[in-house]
Amino acid sequence: MIELHDVRFAYPGSGGFALHVPALTVSPGERVALIGPSGSGKSTLLLLAGGVLLPHSGSVRVAGDDMTSLAASRRRSLRLRRIGMVFQEFELLDYLTVRDNIALAGRLDASIDRRTLASEAERLATAAGVAALLDRKPAALSQGERQRVAACRALATRPAALLCDEPTGNLDPSNADIVTRLLLDHARDHRAALLMSTHRHESLDVFDRVVDIASFRLRGGGR
């Protein structure tokens, strides 16, 4: 579950920009689309939900843990093990193979069983249609294949929360559908709370709920 309550945040030197989220809850297994114009604060909200940014006030709870009160190391560990993140620009490590990119969490946290992660990587790659590319480097993949690999990386630890920042923004409709379906199916099958920002208004009906960030109170510009 993802719960944001009375969250307030402003970037230092942002000239008055501020984000205020009175309340936002995404239940286990629920798939929520986050919409809003560019610069409206969708990415910031996702980073707050993932504990990458800390709010000035309010609380952010993910899988029962209050991110605002956790020590940095615990927050980091939670992000690695319980939160999956997907970015618009894929952000794959170009020096690792597809297999190693998907199982990256195991390299950063010794307590994650790497053997389990490796078999999960193969299973996810098969589901995403990139099993034949497991030993290739990202440079040899198409845009759509890269984002499928990035989605697999986010799902590899079977996270309780999935935070996706415009994951289909750089993809053609066909690949966008594949990536969206992959993430939605995982959320449904593993009861993960999914919060995905998107501009694809034509496919919002696949989500359980749509939240317009404009409904939150904002001042100034945004990110």
Partner 1 sequence: MNGLLGLALSHAWHARVRSSLIVVSVAIAAFIPLATAIVASSLEAALLRRADSTSLVIGGQGGRIDLVLAALYFRPSRTKSITTGDWMQLDADFPGKLVPLNVQHSAGGAPVVATPPDYLDARGFAIKQGTRATLVGEATPGRNAAERHGLSPGDGINSDQAASLDIAAPASIRLRITGVLAATGTPDDDAIFTDLKTAWVLAGLSHGHADAATAIPPPLLLDRTGERVVVSEAFVEDNEVTASNADSLHLHADETTLPLTAVLGLSLDDRERTLLRSRINAAGRLQAVEPGEVVREIMGHVARFTRAANVIAMAVTALTGLLVGMILTMSAKARSRELLTLERLGASRGQVAMLLAIEAVALTAMGMALAAAAGLALWLHPPDLVKLL
User: Contact between 93 and partner 1 (CB under 8 A)?
Assistant: yes
Fill in the per-residue mask, 25 to 54: x = in contact with partner 1 (CB under 8 A), - = not in contact.
Answer: ----------------------x--x-x--
Helix (H) or strand (E) holding 211: strand 209-212
User: Contact between 140 and partner 1 (CB under 8 A)?
Assistant: no
User: Contact between 87 and partner 1 (CB under 8 A)?
Assistant: yes
Interface residue with partner 1 among 14, 59, 77, 203 (CB under 8 A) is 77
Between the CA atoms of 163, 166, 170 and 176, what dihedral angle is there, to the nearest 10 degrees?
70
> In the sheet that 31-35 helps form, which strands lie side by side, from edge to edge?
83-86, 161-165, 193-197, 31-35, 209-212
In the complex, minimum distance from the CB of residue 200 to partner 1, in angstroms, rounded to a whole number? 23
User: Contact between 127 and partner 1 (CB under 8 A)?
Assistant: no
Residue 215 exposure: Cα atoms within 13 Å on the Cβ side: 8
Interface residue with partner 1 among 72, 115, 174, 205 (CB under 8 A) is 72
User: Contact between 95 and partner 1 (CB under 8 A)?
Assistant: yes
Interface residue with partner 1 among 2, 105, 164, 192 (CB under 8 A) is 105
Q: In this structure, are residues 5 and 16 in contact, taking their beta carbons and an 8 Å threshold?
A: no
Interface residue with partner 1 among 5, 54, 66, 76 (CB under 8 A) is 76
Do strands 65-66 and 217-219 pair parallel, antiparallel, or not at all (unpaired)? unpaired
User: Contact between 9 and partner 1 (CB under 8 A)?
Assistant: no
Total number of residues that touch partner 1 (CB under 8 A): 28
Fill in the per-residue mask, 183 to 212: x = in contact with partner 1 (CB under 8 A), - = not in contact.
Answer: ------------------------------
Please give the full DSSP string across 139-183, using - where no structure is assigned.
GGS-HHHHHHHHHHHHHTT--SEEEEESTTTTS-HHHHHHHHHHH
207 three-class SS: coil
Look at the chain and count its residues.
Answer: 223
User: Contact between 159 and partner 1 (CB under 8 A)?
Assistant: no
Beta-bridge partners for 59: 5
Binding residues for partner 1, per CB under 8 A? 47, 50, 52, 72-73, 76-81, 83, 85, 87, 91, 93-96, 100, 104-110, 114
